[in-house]
């Protein structure tokens, strides 16, 4: 089931190709010449096609080809689709990804988020701002093929994004992996998630890596809330809507909401819930270690201090927090394990108050060595 909800807002740049290439839709005819080209498709041909025909048109062709004709294991393979699309976005507009606050979730981060997500309650599974599907695909892998097929067959999988092409890629990968007979069972909602017309299903849990950027222009049918008016941060508004309308959620965002003055209204909402908040410094290593194309020039780092927040509506006792965890890239593999990270959590739960309007520094139990006899360093919040 697919729904489209497009509304004028700061996302308008994702809704048209007109400023880059042709507006015309490709009339796709899988003749021998096109099939032969796609069977020997390369990165160079892909970049050239994006420049000539437009990103949306090329991906309509690729998705149809993979589902209807073949899958080239060397390049045109669903395993490569996420990075291919990222490269295509950079070709389309090197500023677009930065302007819309897109930071792609690395594999190891998706793994730990999926494990925590699996433990939470909620019958309907939602990925908000899913992009090409790194989080939801990792989660489906984690629960196993049979469980994933049953979930999809029962119509309990929901994908949300403003980017129709990214949604189509995500759906294509899922169909290719779990069966073409399930294509009509996936709930795909395309549009501005902050619109009041877009709703989460009842009894749901949400996994999300929302966009991180300042709000320059509000959508005409966004709900006016204190979080919107105070923070002017896109990720905070996503958090508010997700938390208020789900049984549980696992969300990765900047960690600034923990103590920033302009996020006080968001922390007041968090007071109604409970869970855990894992915070990570951005030096010397950082969570978003994946390669960035375009404006990021394949840089392997960025300046975002991140937090993974696990929220439960059934728990109103507050949050256990970690300190701001600082780690070296060489320590990453040992650190990014659920059980290891859970050892950093404070013993006490925190709720804000008039006297303590922010989450305060966490005290953690003494940790044993995580790697090579060295204690991982942490920094107090």
| pLDDT tier for residue 92 given thresholds of 50, 70 and 90 | confident
Q: What is the pLDDT of residue 317?
A: 92
If asked whether residues 88 and 224 sit together in one domain, one would say no
Are 358 and 258 within 8 A, CB to CB? yes
Band of pLDDT at residue 279, cut at 50, 70 and 90? very high
pLDDT for the residue 377: 57
Give the residue carrying structure tokens 């899922």.
174
- Region 69-73: mean pLDDT is 73
Share of the chain above pLDDT 70, in %: 81
Flag whether pLDDT at 37 surpasses 60. Answer: yes
Highest mean pLDDT among 89-93, 294-298, 345-349: 345-349
DSSP string, 22-89: --SPP-----HHHHHHHHT--HHHHHHHHHHH-HHHHHHHHHHHHHHT---SSSS-GGGHHHHHHHHH
157 with 233, same domain: the answer is yes
**Co-location of 346 and 281 in the same domain:** yes
Q: Assess whether pLDDT exceeds 60 at residue 15.
A: no
Cα 239 from Cα 250, distance rounded (Å): 10
pLDDT, position 225: 97
Q: Same domain, yes or no, for 174 and 314?
A: yes
Tokens for 152? 């999809």
What CATH number is associated with residue 280? 3.40.50.150
Region 223-228: what's the mean pLDDT? 96
Listed range (15-19, 138-142, 196-200, 251-255) with the worst mean pLDDT:
15-19
Domain shared by 56 and 172, yes or no = no
Whether 4 is in a domain gets the answer no
- Where a domain ends, among 92, 122, 142? 92
pLDDT beyond 70 at 24: no
Q: Are residues 126 and 229 in the same domain?
A: yes
Q: Are residues 122 and 183 in the same domain?
A: yes
Question: Does 1 map to a domain?
Answer: no
97 lies in some domain: no
| Assigned domain for 189 exists | yes
More confident residue, 303 or 53: 53
- In terms of domains, do 25 and 74 share one? yes
66, 92, 118: which is the final residue of a domain?
Answer: 92
Strand, coil or helix: 216: coil
Kindly state whether residues 307 and 211 are assigned to the same domain. yes
User: What is the tally of structural domains in the chain?
Assistant: 2
What is the domain range of residue 172?
107-379
- Domain end, chosen from 63, 92, 121, is at 92
Taking 70 as the threshold, does the pLDDT of residue 367 lie above it? no
Q: Does any domain span residue 2? A: no
* Residue 5 belongs to a domain: no
Q: Give yes or no: residues 294 and 349 share one domain.
A: yes
pLDDT digits (tens, 9 = 90+) for 288-318: 875 545 433 444 445 689 999 999 999 899 9
Instruction: Please report whether residue 144 resides in a domain.
Output: yes
Q: Given this model, what pLDDT does residue 379 score?
A: 60
């Amino acid at each position: 089931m697919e729904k489209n909800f497009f509304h004028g807002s700061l996302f308008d740049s994702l809704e048209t190709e007109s400023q880059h290439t042709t507006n015309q839709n490709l009339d796709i005819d899988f003749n021998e010449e096109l099939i032969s080209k796609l069977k020997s498709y390369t990165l160079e041909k892909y970049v050239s096609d994006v420049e000539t025909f437009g990103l949306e048109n090329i991906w309509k062709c690729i998705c149809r080809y993979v589902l209807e004709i073949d899958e080239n294991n060397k390049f045109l393979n669903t395993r490569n689709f996420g990075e291919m699309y990222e490269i295509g976005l950079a070709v389309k507009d090197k500023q677009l990804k930065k302007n819309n606050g897109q930071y792609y979730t690395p594999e190891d981060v998706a793994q730990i988020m999926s494990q925590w997500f699996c433990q939470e309650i909620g019958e309907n599974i939602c990925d908000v701002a899913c992009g090409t599907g790194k989080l939801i695909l990792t989660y489906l892998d984690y629960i196993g093929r049979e469980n994933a097929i049953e979930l999809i067959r029962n119509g309990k999988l929901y994908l949300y994004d403003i980017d129709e092409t990214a949604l189509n890629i995500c759906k294509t990968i899922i169909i290719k992996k779990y069966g073409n007979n399930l294509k009509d069972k996936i709930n795909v909602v395309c549009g501005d998630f902050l619109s009041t017309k877009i709703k989460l299903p009842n009894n749901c849990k949400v996994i999300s890596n929302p966009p991180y950027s300042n709000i320059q222009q509000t959508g005409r049918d966004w709900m006016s809330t204190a979080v919107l008016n105070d923070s002017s941060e896109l990720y905070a508004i996503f958090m508010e809507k997700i938390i208020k309308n789900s049984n549980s959620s696992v969300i990765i965002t900047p960690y600034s909401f923990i103590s920033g003055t302009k996020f006080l209204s968001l922390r007041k909402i968090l007071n109604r819930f409970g869970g855990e908040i894992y915070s990570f410094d951005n030096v010397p290593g950082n969570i978003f270690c994946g390669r960035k194309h375009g404006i990021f020039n394949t840089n392997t780092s960025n300046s975002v201090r991140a937090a993974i927040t696990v929220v439960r509506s059934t728990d109103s006792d507050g949050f256990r927090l970690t300190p701001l965890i600082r780690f070296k890239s060489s320590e990453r593999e040992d650190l990014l394990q659920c059980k290891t990270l859970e050892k950093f959590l404070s013993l006490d739960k925190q709720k804000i108050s008039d006297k303590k309007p922010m989450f305060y520094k966490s005290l953690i139990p003494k940790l044993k060595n995580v790697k090579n006899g060295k204690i991982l360093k942490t920094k107090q919040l």
